[in-house]
Each structure stands twice: as structure tokens, then as C-alpha cells.
Amino acid sequence: MPVPGSNGLLLEIDGQVVPNYDATIVLFDEGDVVTGRVVRIDKDEVLVDIGYKSEGVIPSNELSIRKSVHAAEEVELGEEVDALVLIKEDPDGRLILSKKRARFERAWRRIEAAAESGEPVEGKVIEVVKGGLIVDLGLRGFLPASLVDIRRVQNLDEFLNQPIFCKVIELNRSRNNVVLSRRAVLEEERKEVRQQILDRLQPGQVVEGAISNIVDFGAFVDLDGIDGLIHISELSWSHVNHPSEILTIGQKVPVKVLDIDRDRQRISLGLKQTQEDPWQRVVDTYSVGDELEGKVTKVVTFGAFVEILDGVEGLVHISELAQHHVENPREIVNQGDVVRVKILEIDSERRRLSLSVKRVEDQILPLRSVGETPIAPEVSQNDLEHVPELGLSEDVFAEGGEPAAATNGAPAEGDEAAGSNGAPEASPEPSGTP
């Protein structure tokens, strides 16, 4: 019978007090999680004392979700571990346990709670696989490559063995499937940073950023957490065919904040505004009547555009090309020709420059037949009706009339009649981040 005060741990048998070994045995069923102490580590298994009549055995493949791990890498002698009971007694009479499945059960409950609350979970990257990363969360979570970062990661190996925070975006217990997104965590953090940056920035400020992406219509600049857009028209005072001509990804540049759409979190930036305005050089250096050398950049039906400084072009109206009547400007000049011109008008407000070739004394230009060189398609009057207002007077388009001031930039791309490649009348869309 039990000895009073021993909590059933002692028995009195035939007048003798002996230990009640049955009372010390832990009661459990298969599927339960028990706690024990590591008493032996072998190459293929670990022995754990859980207070049962025999020690429990954890096979090496039940130690961790990692592949091909050594037992000594997962446990230490004397360490207390949790293990799930797989088999109470196998054919050899052994108690078979699983450390990784006990961890899995606890991890699953934690991950389920995180998925419901939207809180991120922390894990370590243990494998790089096709299409993404495997993250140790106590179970194997899959992080697709497209969700590793805000931008596509070229080398996933750099994340190996690194701790990361992710959000659970898909959970399927029947398939033990957990899909993660680190990008969701970064975007949430970045959203807070973006708002702080937007609150700090003001139009007119000059800030530094790094080119994060280059597209046909401009370049995006990372301003330490939020992207702003430099439209192609705001890249340079000179004509730019493609942003890649002057910028590279990763390049650091000073930019001026032109506009901020705080509701849509979009920022319009300008690069040329941080550079010397070549038009100001014209105003400071030249006067009406000055003669200088320039290069013909474009020939159109109503005249020719001549670049007199890098980024500054003026219009030589067809009536100012030669002393005689000119039917086609290409009879006198072609693209690439170097000519001397006289300044007829400088319109500082509208940034227009009007030039003349015929008024330069002693200048001899070869009389060309139009057939000598390939002729670009003519710009018809119907085409001109669809050209945006550039500020040129009607006299520019009149036969023999006095030319009005021309722009300081090249004509808009694909626009034969256009004469503007300097500062635009209004910033074109799109503006801001995508």
C-alpha cells in the first residue's frame, strides 16, 4: 500500500518501504508532445529520457526540417527537448520520437495566429531552391523569388543563412504548405518611410538620389525610400533621344523637386534644373546682330534649326536662308552643315531665338540640287495643325514673312514642325512614380 505523505511514490510491501516505479512513469499516447533530456547522441539517432520505462529514440531524420544534418548540430547532451510521440513501442520495443514534428506543431499554431493577425514571422533562410527560398519557421516555409524584395533579386544566394521577416500569405494544413512574402513586410515599412519623406519634401528643393530604373519616357530616382520620376523632357537642356544616353542605373544625381502629388505619393523631379541653363549663357553673352557659327540640326519645310550652343537652337526661317527665293530649304543647307548665322531676335521670356544665314556677309553656301541628298518627308499644312502650340508667330509659317523667334532646343521627337527642345511650356505627363 502507498506510504502516507509520499504522493504515491513509495509503497509498503511486507513491512518494507520500496519505490513505486509505476508512479514515476509518464503517461502519454501517440501524437502527444513530451519533454525529455538528451542522454546520448549517436550518428543516426539521439536518445532522450522522458521518464518512461525506456528511453525514447529520435532518428536523425526526425531531428530537423533541414536536410542531411548531423545530430550533434541539432542537440547537446543534457539539453531538454520537446518531442512528438510517433510510436509507443515499435517491433523492437523502442519508443520512437520526433523533435522536428513537435517543433512543427508548435510552429504551425504560431504561424496560424500570425496569418490571422497579419503580423510578420521571423525565420532563417536554409535553402535556395528553384523559384525561391526555403525559410525555417519550425517548418519549411516557401518564399517565392518574386516576393523576396520590392525589386527582382538577381542572386538569391546572398540570403542564405540570413534571418528575415516575412508575412504569411498562404496556409494549407492538409498539404503542410506555407507561402511567405518578405516584399509585403518591406512595402509596409516603405509606406511609412514614403509618408515621412513626402512630409519633408517641398517643391523647389534640390536633393540627391540614385537612379533606380530607366524607361523610355524618363528615369526613376530612389530618394531613400520613395521613387520620383524625371521625365525625359526634364533630363537635359539638350535634346535626349533616350534617358540611357546620359544616365545609368545606380548613378547618384542631384535633382530638383518640381511637383508633389501627396495623395498619390508621386514626385516629379528635374535633372536639368540642377545644371547651368544654356539659355542664360545666350542672354549674357550675345546680342541682336551678333554673328556666330552653328550646326544645322534639322531641316523642315519652313526653314532650318541651327544649334549655336550645346542645348540652344535657333530657327533660320526659309526666307532667311538665301538672297534669292528658296523653294526647299534643302537647296541651301542639310543636316550636319556648319554655317554662320546672324542673331535677329532674342526672346528672353519665351526662350526663342531667330537667326539668319543670308544676312551674314561674304558667306558662300553651295547651291544644291534637292536630289543630291535624301529628302526627309515633307511636313504638310495638315500636319502642322496637329503640332502643339510652341509660341512661334504666324509669320514663321508665312512665305517670305519676317521670322519669329525660335526655340532654344531641338524639335520634339517625330515632330517635323516643332521647334522646342528647351524648357517646356508645361511639364508633360506622366509625372511621379508608377
For 208-254, the pLDDT digits (tens) are: 999 999 999 999 999 887 889 999 989 988 778 899 999 999 999 99
Q: pLDDT band for 73, please (50, 70, 90 cuts).
A: confident
Among the listed ranges 97-101, 231-235, 282-286, 379-383, which one has the minimum average pLDDT value? 379-383
State yes or no: cis peptide before 144, omega within 30 of 0.
no
286 shares a domain with 264: no
CATH number, domain containing residue 340: 2.40.50.140
- On whether residue 31 sits in a domain, the answer given is yes
CA distances, 343 to each of 299, 306, 314 (Å): 18, 11, 9
pLDDT of residue 395: 46
269 shares a domain with 213: yes
The secondary structure of the chain, three-state, reads CECCCCCCCEEEECCEEEECHHHHCCCCCCCCEEEEEEEEECCCEEEEECCCCCCEEEEHHHCCCCCCCCHHHHCCCCCEEEEEEEECCCCCCCEEEEHHHHHHHHHHHHHHHHHHHCCCEEEEEEEEECCEEEEECCCEEEEEHHHCCCCCCCCHHHHCCCEEEEEEEEEECCCCEEEEEHHHHHHHHHHHHHHHHHHHCCCCCEEEEEEEEEECCEEEEECCCCEEEEEHHHCCCCCCCCHHHCCCCCCEEEEEEEEEECCCCEEEEECHHHCCCHHHHHHHHCCCCCEEEEEEEEEECCEEEEEEECCEEEEEEHHHCCCCCCCCHHHCCCCCCEEEEEEEEEECCCCEEEEECCCCCCCCCCCCCHHHCCCCCCCCHHHHCCCCCCCCCHHHHCCCCCCCCCECCCCCCCCCCCCCCCCCCCCCCCCCCC
CA distance 364 to 323: 11
Greatest Cα pair distance, the chain, in angstroms, is: 142
Q: pLDDT band for 207, please (50, 70, 90 cuts).
A: very high
Average pLDDT over residues 396-423: 41
Q: Which residues, other chains included, contact 201 with Cβ-Cβ below 8 Å and sequence gap of 6+? A: 207, 223, 257, 260, 267
CA distance 381 to 366: 29
Say if CB 334 and CB 298 are below 8 A apart. Answer: no
CA distance 406 to 386: 19
CA distance 55 to 255: 70
Average pLDDT over residues 320-329: 91
257 shares a domain with 162: no
373 shares a domain with 306: yes
Report the percentage of the chain scoring pLDDT > 90.
Answer: 32
Say if CB 227 and CB 187 are below 8 A apart. Answer: no
370 shares a domain with 290: yes
pLDDT of residue 325: 92
372 shares a domain with 305: yes
222 shares a domain with 329: no
Give the distance from CA 300 to its chain's centroid: 41
Q: Which of 66, 101, 136 is the last residue of a domain?
A: 101
Average pLDDT over residues 193-218: 89
Q: Which of 75, 101, 127 is the last residue of a domain?
A: 101
- On whether residue 414 sits in a domain, the answer given is no
Q: Output the pTM of the full model.
A: 0.45
287 shares a domain with 223: no
C-alpha cell recorded at residue 98: 520526433
How many folded domains does the chain comprise?
4
- On whether residue 71 sits in a domain, the answer given is yes
161 shares a domain with 217: no
Strand partners, 2: 11
- On whether residue 424 sits in a domain, the answer given is no
pLDDT of residue 366: 62
For 133-185, the pLDDT digits (tens) are: 999 988 889 999 999 998 888 899 999 999 999 999 999 888 888 999 999 99
Unique residue bearing C-alpha cell 518501504: 17
Q: Which of 274, 301, 321 is the last residue of a domain?
A: 274
Q: Domain range holding 350?
A: 278-381+389-397
CA angle 167, 173, 179 (to 5 degrees): 30
284 shares a domain with 262: no
Q: pLDDT band for 129, please (50, 70, 90 cuts).
A: very high
Burial class (CB in 10 A: 0-12, 13-18, 19+), 295: middle
Q: Which residues, other chains included, contact 284 with Cβ-Cβ below 8 Å and sequence gap of 6+? A: none
393 shares a domain with 315: yes
282 shares a domain with 264: no
